[in-house]
Amino acid sequence: MRTAMLYGPRDIRFEERETPRITQPTDAVVRLSVTSICGSDLWPYRGIQAVTGPTPMGHEYCGIVEEVGRAVTKIKPGQFVIGSFFASDNTCPNCQNGYQSSCQHRELVGGAQASVLRVPLAEGTLVATQDVPQQDLIPSFQAVSDVMGTGWFAADAANVKQGTTVVVVGDGAVGLLAVLSARQMGAERIIAMSRHESRQRLAREFGATDIVAERGQAGEARVMELTRGIGADSVPECVGTQESMTQAIQCARRGGYVSYVGVPHAVDLKGEELFFAHVHLHGGPAPVRRFLPKLIDLVWSGKINPGKVFDLALPLEQVAEGYRAMDERRAIKALLRP
């Protein structure tokens, strides 16, 4: 089997690696229907996050169960399943509280840019669909595995409710799906901050009511103008840089909510500024597992189509081109077909 491996900055190779098999009784082995590249894969790809040696890439996945360990009883071979980037037992106190990405037994899933994947803690991690889906639904189920789950958490953690005003900071796939999530949750006004025309178009399609192309102080001023000088009730921050985090806090109203779901890189918040900002902050690695059953239903019933964020589809062997296209912002998100 061949897998996408990162050797160093901008050095992705698609090379032979042993096909995963069951190693623990709680494992499942899944034949992937599709796979994809995440915005967070770009941090090590760009060399901003160091890799110590050749690293198998990919953590977004869905497909057909091939084999399960002897302790796995509810997930069965032949089922179509979706998991997320942290494997979790779904039984410990953190899981019970809905924070499966902080499971006491969590394991990072890696090596999903391949045709076969070993999933640890399969019973807690994987959710099966009612039936094997039609091909046209598969990109949307793939999106549910990470970006849609993360976008939903961004909106949920920012307390989006019926009638609220939302500002989404970040126009990557997660930001765009935070727009879609806010729409589903009944937000009245959704302001998407984006400078790119193709992303603005998708944001509008997903439910954005206003677009703000300005950034920094000019962006804040425009948001204040649109919210009568008050700021937004909810601000999902979907990037993870100092600029985006500062922007998010500045756009929230007093007593408003800021969520942050992108892995922070060199973000430094000043205590005093935070003190006087008067905002709620809630974020972290999205507990996608909490939302899987609901999001699977929404996709299955045709209420959401998050697969639209994939604007590039390639055969898996062209994975390196997928990274290049996303790095150069020629593509929002690349879908790879094994």
Q: What does the binding site for Zn ion look like in residue numbers (CB under 5 A)?
A: 88-89, 92, 95, 103
- Contact status, residue 174 vs residue 276, Cβ threshold 8 Å: no
- Contact status, residue 101 vs residue 286, Cβ threshold 8 Å: yes
Give the residue with the Cβ less far from Zn ion, 253 or 289: 289
- Contact status, residue 94 vs residue 100, Cβ threshold 8 Å: yes
Helices 173-184 & 197-206 angle (0-180, nearest 10): 20
In the complex, minimum distance from the CB of residue 154 to Zn ion, in angstroms, rounded to a whole number: 22
Give the residue with the Cβ less far from Zn ion, 95 or 239: 95
Taking residue 124's Cβ as centre, other Cβ atoms within 10 Å add up to 24
Give the residue with the Cβ less far from Zn ion, 83 or 256: 83
Tokens 């999530």 locate to: 181
| CA separation for the pair 262, 274 (Å, rounded) | 19
| 3-state secondary structure at position 30 | strand
Which tokens belong to 92?
A: 């410990």
In the complex, minimum distance from the CB of residue 14 to Zn ion, in angstroms, rounded to a whole number: 34
Give the residue with the Cβ less far from Zn ion, 95 or 187: 95
In the complex, minimum distance from the CB of residue 72 to Zn ion, in angstroms, rounded to a whole number: 16
Give the residue with the Cβ less far from Zn ion, 103 or 299: 103
In the complex, minimum distance from the CB of residue 90 to Zn ion, in angstroms, rounded to a whole number: 6
Phi/psi of residue 141, each to 5°?
Answer: -65, -35
In the complex, minimum distance from the CB of residue 69 to Zn ion, in angstroms, rounded to a whole number: 18
How far is the first Cα of the chain from the last one, in angstroms, to the nearest whole number? 10
